[in-house]
Structure 1
Amino acid sequence: MVPSPHPSLASIVDAALAHVPALSHALYNGIQDELKSRLEHHQLLAGWSKRRAQFAPDLEASLNQLLAVARTGRDPLHRDRPAAADFSDLKLSLVDESQALKDVAIAHVITAIEDHSRAELHQLGNFFAALRGIARPLKNDNPLRAAVFAQALSRAIEGVDLDPEGRAALMRIAAHPLAIKLQPIYAQLCAELRQAQLGGLLTSHGSALKESDLRQRQFKTLTESATPAPTPAATLDQVALKLDLMNTRAASLPPAVAPAATPPVAMHLGPGTGAPGSDLLSRLYDQILADDRLQPPLKVLMGRLQVAIVRLSREDASLLRRQEHPTWLLLNRIAAHGAGFQRPDDADLRAFLSFLEKTIQPLLDSAHPSALQFQQALVQVDAHIRAEAEARGQRSAVALERLDREQRRQEWKRMLRDQLQHQLDDAHAGKLMRRFLLGPWVEVIAQAMVQHGRDAVHAQSTIELVDALLHSVQPHEDEASRQRLRAQLPALIRALDQGMDSIALPQIQRQAFMDELMRQHGRVLRGLPAVEEAEAPPAPAPKGPALTPEEVLQQLLDERESQLPSRWAHERVDRGQLPTVPVALYSEEHSPHARAALQDWIASVQIGGWYHLFLQSEWITAQVAWISDSRQLFLFVGQMPDERHSMTRGALEQLVANGLITRLEEEALLQRAIGTLMQDLDRAG
């Protein structure tokens, strides 16, 4: 294709569109070769073979659709979220384990593409950002970014006749050949831009960066996270020791050769400046206020709080020895919550600042603040953050509680059948009654629990009706008890009708049971047993003949085969560049330590915490606003209040195990300040 003398967004996207047919066909061949060359992929062949002829056309159609949107200047991946369930007046996007598996696979494809075309993607990102007049490339500036091709691949594979684990496995298989085939396409597009004398645009945003800074910035573009490389976990004691050593060394030098004095810090300690630890506190607080990840309005507030901390340091020696001191915990908590807001003028951030002003005022007014006062302020801040998070999720609470109960329907039905089984063993109520109670009526009770709650009055009344029903078909020997039963039967029948209505029991089943119940009640009211003769409980199924050794072996092989697909759910996406997520700690499928660590991580999720996570092809920042009582369902509310994601525990475990979720501010504000200060002292020493 002849390069345009004046390349534009449309012309570059058109150039990419010209490669789509060849790319789709080449990827089809790449998947075919991979599936045939590896024995462990044989379980995917059957599903793939049924739809493989449609794969290339489906992929081509998906790419054409996405790139056609990109050609108009819109973001091809900006769309309404799928998998929405309509509850009450809200649409809640439910992320279950199947969706999480898809997200894990998409992230794997994105990583593979970026690893093979990092330089080219950086250059294209600069070009498209320059076309929009943006000084710094943002994640959505490049309409040809890796996520677009990963999403098109995911759509094409949706048609393959495989379960979610199988489709995720097929995505991972396709990642490498797709990355290989895309790299020369990206390279050719960059070459055409250079031929058009646009080299300056390609390098303008990154020419002054060192190679290490460039890699960090590229990764930040993918994750939207400003997580720096981890610093050594220095402690306050180590910093103090280093500072004392430097001061001692400087004092021992002759005046003529003494080094220049350390530049003065911005903090003024007032009386007692020469007190032990004042230099350390000054330097440490300077680093805190210089932290570029701290929201500017919070820096102002912490600057005011500095006065109270200095007063505290004169009377509380533990302040500079304990990183768990309430003072530092308070600063860490404020900074961590502030990291969840994108803009300094965010209305919720302003409300948080207004609350903080009132909370810290007693600390500023006190001439001798204590650690207890800081602890009380910390408790107030934690309570405020939790209350605000719950308020953000309050509109969804009723719907989510219903959704959580729906998740537990099968568990409740199993429990109810077990309990009724024991109750019916001694009731001698007849086969039809037994089938009704263990079948439709279990559905009625479970439906009441889902609709109203497990302990709701309505649910309990459906359970109590079992006792009333069984009592009604027991022998009533005297006329008085039979008359009482006769008076109770109309209410019992109405309750049964209402229960059967709640599950829309078919009329044939309903009529058969009601006819049998009427017959039994007729016998009881005449002083006869409800059933003509006692029915022996069903005999256990006879055991078959003993299996031969060959049959035992075949059974074991069949069971093993049935377990093979489960391994696809646990393959790890390599996101080692995200230092705050120790993926290996959680991803060892058969390790009890990994499982325990994963459960501990899930248990640590609390309402109010901010997280950075990969959902439905993009990285988002969201706050936990609600957790179900069973901890099987979690609500995340994004930075825009209407952006809500309800997530099952299984989905959350998948993201954790694959390194696709991390807490914001995992490394606390104080620890970052200590690490930076230690580096400065090392360089100065």
Structure 2
Amino acid sequence: MAKLLKLRLGVSDDPTALQPTLADCLQALLSQSEPLMAQVIEGLQLAAAPAGPRRIPGFQQPGIQRAVQALAEASAEVRARYTAELGRLVYEGGGKEQAQTEALRFEDLQLFGDEELDQSIEVARAQQEVSQAVDDVLPALDALISTLLGWRTIQSGLNPLRPDVFVRALQACLAAHVPDPAVREALIVPAAGLLGAQLRQLYRELTDWLASSGVEPAMPVGGKAKKGLATGTAVASSVAKTLLTLDRLRKLLAGDFDTPPRQDYQHTLPASMALLQDMKQVDALVRQLEERSRGEPPAPPRDLLEPAPAEGSPRLGRQLGKEVVRLMFDNLTQDSRLVREYKNQLKAIEPAVLRLAQYDSRFFSDRSHPARQLLDRMTQRSLAFTNESDPGWQRFLATVQAAVKWLDSKVIDADTFAELLETLQAQWGEQDQNGRQRREDGARALLHAEQRHLLAQKLAGEFAQEAEGLGVPEFVGDFLKGSWSQVVAEAKLSCVDGSDDPYGYRALVADLVWSVQKSTAQRSRLARLAQMIPGLLERLREGLDRIDYPPELTGRFFENLTVVHQSALQEGRDAQAREAAEAAEAQPSQLPDSVFDDAAIWLAEGEAAGTGYLQPEAGAQGAPAQGPEQPPAAPGELRTGAWVELMVKGEWLRVQLTWASPHHTLFMFTSPAGTAHSMSRRMLDRLRAQGLMKVIADRNVVDEALDQVAKTALLNSLDGKT
């Protein structure tokens, strides 16, 4: 394989004189994609050969040999396709298939078909094979690529040349040229091993090249180098390693381990209670349930030599259910975002959830199950606090402790969790009542501002078209498309009788355009101008005052308009006035590009006061970034309910995204104390780019803990223990 350095430097060159860019790195490595795939095909041929040191016995099957031979015969086409697919993934990120292969969601697992399940395991095995091959050389490359990306700290997830990109390109290539799924499954792991060996060499050469060219590596987050690709901390136990696999987890979610309704199915109790009430046997039933609710004695560890329970047996389902619950709580108690004392309360809740899961498998498959909802709401609310000294923490902790006592004293079923959730939400609702009213008022003000802005955009286009070709000075066009479109839009939105132009502000546009035209028809023009100008100026200022528009934003307009009108009233006879008017008309447009941009929305001072709105000017001034760097993300990635930390007056403040406008142009965040902080999309982008906003959790923490359970099951599936 060609050396990368030979493509760039001569022997006598100074390596640091021509420092490569990120584009140079991508181009250099992509140029090696065809030789890379050629090496993989050659290795598969040697593995399928009847004799030889690299012969693999499993490759001697006719179907596999035919597939390898077909790859070799179409080598040019395979290499070209791999290059094209790799280039697309490197430059475009891979799109939908990236989410399918990287984001294994617990909640989606029950929807997987056999083919999708096999594909997930197939790709994961291939990624594991490549990752192991490049584990020792990748961290150094990540550090250098992060520098070229502009980061001071290592951002391995942003490396466009990370191993999974090459694996996905390999998978797509094999899927196109090896139609038989069974044959493709047999080929992909050996092919990934060959790919990993060659990729390791490429990574090493690329690292040497960048280092010799004077590129400084980024610093590890936290100051400690991390070897290998850590994709997440998965909690594993001896039971999980022998029992929990992806296929079994899917069956658990699908209810395959459920048994027909029996006496110990507690979710049928409401009807049974009503029947037994008439039979005078309620007391006896309650005593039996209380004895059972104290919990079963822990089952002894299963002897690994003992045959595993049958796949469809209720016993296996209960064991899987217990392990999923334990892993979920283990992930929650290891989450650094949660306050320590809250984690202790979670440990106290775990036994009740374990008892519930034994008889109600809906806990795993139904996100709306009362027990899941209770854990979700409590945990999300706990994210409002960073430590135990935060205001409001003790009050929140008291509600959680009361919930733990409630569960200890009740018969455990779905109705118990539903009743508890209703009680907690009522308590939290009372605590949040004042803040909720302020949020609703703020949301209405922001929604009105967005509607006004969208209507103003439409009107601005109409005004521009109306003035087109009439010789209107640019400063007048600026005013019509910017300030006056807001005035007309506000007047139209505030009208309740359905009038299209309630205050005549829309009709005023024609008068303003006529007053600044260089008309050739001078007869009666002077008299009309003299009569029109005072009223025109008065109406313009009246409209701007009606929406509380800042005078400083229209100062230049009125100065220039007065100069042009004075010259027109003199009919050009005053040379000094005429020159001043010509200078005003010749001034270049100062209309910002953001007038038609949804990301830039203007709010009046009174509107902004009730929403904590951050005006664009305020965003330019801010404290320097204090927190760790994080990748920039589009605002659409933030969901309502997400928790972030926002730099406010030099201090980090934990706030929650409580409202986003329908067009995602305005966002409102609320602190635990109920204080609102709202901003436009442009401001949100700016704060994140400056490191003044850090995303803490954009998904439910409980969902993330269950996703880690699914990843644990995937890792166990890779070990072949099904």
Which range, TM-score by smaller chain?
0.3 to 0.5
TM-score by length of 2: 0.36
TM-score by length of 1: 0.37
Per chain length, whose mean CA-contact separation is higher, i.e. which structure has more relative contact order (CA < 8 Å, sep 6+)? 1
